[in-house]
């Protein structure tokens, strides 16, 4: 990819601009892709600049702790700067790091994680899981907004709720890219678009599934054109009525992990990046190095993404999940795989645990909580005395908090891995292994 130099960058948002233009030397890059400059001990975050660059920028906000500025002109480019491959990058809120090479993005993520975990004693090296740079998303939610008969179909703009029109999104799986383009053309040519709230795209072992969330009731005749389009494209098209919380399905969708079939509802959680998910599950199994002596707790288990591979290797697995319908799906996935050593339990892990969980005799635990982490359950987990805890996290700050609690309670961090599940974005997934 080519470097651009001395290119004028557009201010990303309409913000009041009053201060004079100043020259900044950028010392660091935040994990969200902004430059950091220091003047007389005060930090200025410079939008559109990278570490090692010199830029002319205008301060748009002065705060007591820090200032914010936007780049107007780059005087010297960073060696890791690249031309963003996606034409929507400057406006679209979906990606934050496309102006850096992918290798530099990954170095940035590793450094940022090390900063988040600064209060923990870490092993010398942080490993990495890396996959495809583009075409990695197997699911996406696309917004629809219509005003004055003008439809916008796409994603939210950077730092704004405005929906911007997206013609093509390169981080989607190639099959989703082509279905999206074709669907978009259909919708832009129809009145139906005004009655839609958003579009969900999914690509799995069965192909492409599209859920159209209606904001207003539609009659069958309205749906005819798109139903015909879906048949011609071999796409499963599901219509979600305005009052429906979840779309009705005749049969679940499925994907494969470790040769097991994971059935799931198309609107329930699945890991977005199928390639990194496979690598992640393999690595979790390798790090835990299970035997038939092990009894494993799989917390926040979903429909069994980790539970099924865990049960293949361990003596027994107890998998816990809050959503009842996912627990039922997990149970039927275990039955289909003939894993009678895998049991699913419905429990909200932020609440006092049921007796079955309080009294579980376990040797190891795997946790994969939502962004809020697993803090409420940690005292119970410590009392269960696992030898090893493998923590998978999508939020490094709650992971740092939870790991610090576990360290205070006798565990030490033995392995950490940065998993680049979402290249070009500021999102980072982490795997951490803690041991007694």
Ligand X SMILES: C[S@@+](CC[C@H](N)C(=O)[O-])C[C@H]1O[C@@H](n2cnc3c(N)ncnc32)[C@H](O)[C@@H]1O
Distance CA 384, CA 379 (A): 9
Shortest Cβ 179–ligand SF4 spacing (Å): 15
Say how far apart CA 128 and CA 123 lie, in whole Å: 14
Does 345 engage in binding with ligand X (CB under 6 A)? Answer: no
Residue 132 token pair: 């495809």
Cβ proximity of 172 and 135 under 8 Å: yes
Helix, strand, or coil (residue 103): helix
Q: Is 62 annotated as a binding residue?
A: no
State yes or no: residue 377 binds ligand SF4 (CB under 6 A): no
- Using alpha carbons only, give the angle 237, 175, 336 rounded to the nearest 5 degrees: 65
Residue 136 or 377 having the CB closest to ligand SF4: 136
Query: Are the CB atoms for 96 and 32 separated by under 8 Å?
Result: yes
- 90 vs 268, beta carbon nearer ligand X: 268
222 dihedral zone (left: phi>0; alpha: psi -120 to 50; beta): alpha
- 272 binds ligand X, rule: CB under 6 A: no
Q: How far is the CB of 337 from ligand X (least distance, A)?
A: 15
Bridge partners for 55 per DSSP? 24, 74
373 or 423, CB closer to ligand SF4? 423
Does residue 271 have a known ligand-binding role? yes
**Nearest distance, CB of residue 237 and ligand X, angstroms:** 25
Q: Is 82 an interacting residue with respect to ligand SF4 (CB under 6 A)?
A: no
The residue number whose beta carbon is nearest to ligand SF4 equals 94
Q: Are strands 66-76 and 150-156 parallel, antiparallel or unpaired?
A: unpaired
- Residue 237: name the closest of 255, 256, 218 by CA: 218
Per the CB < 8 A criterion, the answer to whether 398 and 373 are in contact is yes
The one of ligand SF4, ligand X, none whose footprint includes residue 88, by CB under 5 to 8 A per kind, is ligand SF4
Candidate ranges 73-81, 160-168, 226-234, 267-275; the one touching ligand X (CB under 6 A): 267-275
Kindly list the residues in this chain that would bind ligand SF4 in the complex (CB under 6 A). Answer: 86, 88-89, 92, 94-95, 155, 166, 169-171, 424
Residue stretches of the annotated binding site: 86, 92, 95, 169, 271, 300, 305, 321, 348, 368
Residues known to be catalytic:
394
Kindly list the residues in this chain that would bind ligand X in the complex (CB under 6 A). Answer: 269-271, 300-302, 305-306, 321-323, 326, 348-350, 368-370
């Amino acid at each position: 990819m080519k470097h651009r130099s001395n290119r004028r960058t557009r201010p990303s948002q309409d913000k009041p601009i009053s201060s004079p233009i100043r020259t900044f030397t950028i010392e660091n890059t935040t994990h969200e892709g902004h430059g950091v400059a220091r003047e007389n001990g005060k930090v200025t975050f410079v939008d559109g600049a990278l570490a090692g660059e010199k830029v002319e920028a205008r301060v748009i906000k002065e705060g007591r702790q820090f200032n914010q500025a936007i780049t107007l002109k780059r005087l010297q480019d960073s060696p890791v700067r690249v031309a963003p491959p996606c034409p929507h990058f400057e406006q679209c809120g979906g990606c934050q790091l496309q102006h850096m090479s992918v290798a530099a993005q990954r170095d940035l993520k590793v450094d940022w994680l090390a900063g988040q975990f600064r209060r923990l004693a870490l092993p010398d090296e942080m490993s990495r899981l890396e996959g495809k740079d583009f075409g990695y998303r197997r699911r996406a939610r696309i917004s629809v907004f219509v005003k004055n008969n003008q439809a916008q179909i796409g994603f939210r703009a950077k730092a704004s709720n405005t929906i911007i029109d997206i013609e093509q999104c390169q981080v989607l799986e190639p099959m989703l890219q082509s279905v999206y383009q074709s669907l978009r053309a259909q919708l832009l040519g129809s009145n139906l678009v005004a009655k839609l709230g958003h579009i969900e795209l999914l690509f799995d072992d069965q192909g492409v599934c599209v859920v159209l969330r209606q904001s207003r009731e539609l009659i069958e005749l309205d749906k005819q054109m798109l139903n015909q389009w879906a048949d011609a494209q071999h796409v499963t098209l599901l219509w979600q009525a305005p009052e429906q919380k979840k779309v009705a399905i005749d049969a679940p969708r499925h994907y494969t992990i470790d040769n097991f079939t994971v059935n799931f509802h198309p609107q329930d959680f699945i890991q977005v990046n199928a390639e990194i998910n496979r690598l992640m599950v393999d690595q979790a199994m390798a790090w835990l190095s299970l035997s038939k002596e092990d009894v494993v707790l799989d917390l926040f288990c979903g429909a069994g993404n980790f539970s099924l591979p865990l049960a293949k290797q361990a003596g027994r697995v107890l998998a816990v999940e809050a959503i009842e319908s996912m627990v039922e799906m997990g149970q039927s996935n275990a039955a289909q795989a003939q894993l009678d050593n895998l049991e699913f339990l419905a429990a909200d892990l932020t609440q006092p645990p049921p007796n079955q969980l309080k009294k579980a005799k376990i040797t190891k635990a795997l946790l994969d909580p939502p962004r809020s982490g697993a803090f409420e359950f940690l005292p119970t987990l410590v009392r269960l005395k696992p030898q090893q805890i493998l923590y998978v996290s999508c939020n490094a700050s709650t992971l740092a908090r939870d790991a610090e609690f576990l360290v205070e309670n006798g565990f030490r961090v033995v392995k950490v891995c940065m998993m680049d599940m979402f290249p070009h974005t500021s999102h980072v997934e982490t795997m951490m292994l803690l041991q007694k």
